[in-house]
Amino acid sequence: MKIVGIDPGLKATGYSVIDNDRGKVGLLELGTVSPKSKDGIPEKLQNIYQRLNDLIDKYNPEILVLEKIYSHIQHPTTIGTLGHVRGVICLLCAQKKIRLVEYSVKRVRKSITGNGNATKVQTQRIVFNIFNLDNRQMSLDASDATALALGYVYMSKRLI
């Protein structure tokens, strides 16, 4: 079963594709979509849409795991921006008939690290160890996306 994890953002959207084959979890691809800062919102959304559409066409995943929106009181406009990106991702799921699953950051980090309050860096280290990577191969956005996909596997007990 192929699973895509996505950590949405207008400046950087992390993505990861893993394959869970009878308890063996393998990393197929990970990366970050980083639209040009000079582009407007429509162009950034188009860029994110196209890159993720190409990724989905390449791997034909069954599940897409998306990070739930978290709004911080000091950054209230973030929720609107994330809503735009999440809308594009939800549209892709509908168009491609992919099951959409949403998890909170805390829930995913608890499943991966054992601590829902683990930092991005702590989560990244665990992901590094699981897939035998180093930090030059993975942005924090991509490691969060990978954690989302792994979290789905762990929480749904699909290792067996």
| Contact criterion met (CB below 8 Å) for 92 and 98 | yes
Query: 19, 67, 102, 134: which is the annotated catalytic residue?
Result: 67
Position 139: which residue type?
S
Query: 39, 57, 141, 144: which is the annotated catalytic residue?
Result: 141
Q: Catalytic annotation on 7?
A: yes
* Beta-bridge partner residues of 32: 14
Contacts of 129 (CB under 8 A, 6+ apart): none
Rg (CA), the chain: 15
Q: Catalytic annotation on 141?
A: yes
Q: What is the 3-state secondary structure (H, E, C) of 62-118?
A: CEEEEECCCCCCCCCCHHHHHHHHHHHHHHHHHHHCCEEEEECHHHHHHHHHCCCCC
Catalytic residues: 7, 67, 141
